[in-house]
Amino acid sequence: MTLPKGLAGVVVDQTKISSTKNAILTYAGYRIEDLASAPFEEVVYLLWYGRLPAAEDLHTFTRTLVGHMTLPDETLRLMNEIAKEPQHPMSILRTTVSLLGTTNNVKRDDPPTILGKMLTAIAAIIRIRDGKPLLRAQPDWSVAKNFLYLFSGNTPTDDQAAMFNTVMVLHAEHEFNASTFTARVVASTQSDYYSCLTAAVCALKGPLHGGANERVFNMLETIRAQELAPAEYLKQELAAGHKVMGFGHRIYKNGDPRAKILRGIAEKLADQTGNQDYYDLQATLADFMLKNKHLHPNVDYYTALIYHCLGLDKATFTMLFAACRTAGWLAHILEQQREGCLIRPSSEYVGPTNQHYLENRRHQNDTQQDHIQFG
């Protein structure tokens, strides 16, 4: 029995939500390059319902999502205690998502309600950690503009809202990645939405998945703080066998289409916020990795700089990823629950065989007595 490690390239199920076939990312058949400037709400509608909404439906859907960008008082009271704990923000989010599933009348919570709550909860964690007051969503703004406002406290310009909208769209969905597959496994048991999302957050926290963006910025800070030569730093890391975060992708061997779009946003935001040095450093590192290792930047690489330019603490970067990816997680939870099939794969056992309990136990007892007597 020979299977690739990590199930690389193994098709485990079918989906109508998204595809990375031939290294082309599509949402419900639409290329990501075409959707990059579409309203986040329209993309969410597409992922959940498999079609683009009519203008009137989009307006109603947007108002519905924004209308749910609020949290019950009891949830906020508990969050004010949880978010102040000296834990990693993703650990705080893990507990918060579980909390969302136990406060208020959660049996009536549908995907629009849950997405609105998730976005608001993540913004609230950021604000509470920074000791800043919580804000209210503006009913006439888009979801992306509201979310940016809720965690930053600044009224976004139309240009800033448009760029952040693109960031949210690019992170909304990505086929059977680790966190999405985790959510689908839980959904296959017919468990509730919040249990599925809690499991997805746990998977996203890992540095080989969503946590990679934080480690990308750690690298940039280290190089700048120690005034290292970028090429020498990379040579040392590679020689030591360390993985350089933000480069390479299991699917996109010739470049992540999301990274190509995000690079322009990172460059523009870096210029606007006085972070040009960081962008220039990223460009230098990317050139070295392509020339010497034939590796392209992935989605995490430029996202790290974008989130920094938005004023975020690097420890909260992965929570922003979770905020966007909740749209895709919910799409997959819905699809898996409709499928009604329990995910329960088999494994190939490669351990010892023909073991005999009583015989081995007697042997261990005899050995122990000998050790006591003669040891």
Active site residue 249: yes
Looking at the structure, tell me whether residues 223 and 191 fall in a common domain. no
Q: Last residue of a domain, which of 265, 287, 309?
A: 309
Helices of type H across the chain: 32-35, 40-49, 55-67, 73-82, 89-100, 111-129, 143-152, 158-171, 178-187, 193-204, 212-225, 230-239, 257-272, 276-293, 299-309, 317-339, 357-374
Looking at the structure, tell me whether residues 190 and 57 fall in a common domain. yes
21 within a domain of the structure (yes/no): yes
39 within a domain of the structure (yes/no): yes
371 within a domain of the structure (yes/no): no
**pLDDT one-digit tens code per residue, 339-351:** 999 999 888 888 9
Choosing from 249, 296, 308, 332, the catalytic residue is 249
Looking at the structure, tell me whether residues 193 and 107 fall in a common domain. yes
Cα separation, 237 vs 263, whole angstroms:
24
In contact, 124 and 93? CB cutoff 8 Å: no
Looking at the structure, tell me whether residues 80 and 192 fall in a common domain. yes
127 within a domain of the structure (yes/no): yes
Q: Last residue of a domain, which of 288, 309, 330?
A: 309
231 within a domain of the structure (yes/no): yes
User: Which is it for the CA torsion 270, 23, 187, 88, positive or negative?
Assistant: negative
157 within a domain of the structure (yes/no): yes
7 within a domain of the structure (yes/no): no
CATH of the domain at 329: 1.10.580.10
Looking at the structure, tell me whether residues 49 and 172 fall in a common domain. yes
Looking at the structure, tell me whether residues 182 and 216 fall in a common domain. no
44 DSSP 8-state letter: H
Domain count, the chain: 2
Active site residue 13: no
375 residues of the chain, pLDDT tens digit each: 677 777 777 778 899 999 999 999 999 999 999 999 999 999 999 999 999 999 999 999 999 999 999 998 989 999 999 998 889 999 999 999 999 998 877 778 999 999 999 999 999 999 999 999 999 999 999 999 999 999 999 999 999 999 999 999 999 999 999 999 999 999 999 999 999 999 999 999 988 788 889 999 999 999 999 999 999 999 999 999 999 999 999 889 999 999 999 999 999 999 999 999 999 999 999 999 999 999 999 999 999 999 999 999 999 999 999 999 999 999 999 999 999 999 998 888 889 999 999 888 888 887 766 655 555
Looking at the structure, tell me whether residues 224 and 254 fall in a common domain. yes
In contact, 295 and 289? CB cutoff 8 Å: yes
Looking at the structure, tell me whether residues 281 and 217 fall in a common domain. yes
247 DSSP 8-state letter: B
Query: What is the per-residue pLDDT for 372?
Result: 57
Looking at the structure, tell me whether residues 35 and 130 fall in a common domain. yes
Cα separation, 170 vs 34, whole angstroms:
11
In contact, 332 and 17? CB cutoff 8 Å: yes
Which strand (E) or helix (H) includes residue 19? Answer: strand 18-19
CATH of the domain at 258: 1.10.230.10
Choosing from 296, 300, 308, 332, the catalytic residue is 300
Looking at the structure, tell me whether residues 88 and 194 fall in a common domain. yes
9 within a domain of the structure (yes/no): no
Looking at the structure, tell me whether residues 152 and 238 fall in a common domain. no
Looking at the structure, tell me whether residues 200 and 143 fall in a common domain. yes
**pLDDT one-digit tens code per residue, 307-336:** 999 999 999 999 999 999 999 999 999 999
Give the pTM: 0.91
188 DSSP 8-state letter: T
Domain range spanning residue 283? 212-309
Query: What is the per-residue pLDDT for 107?
Result: 78
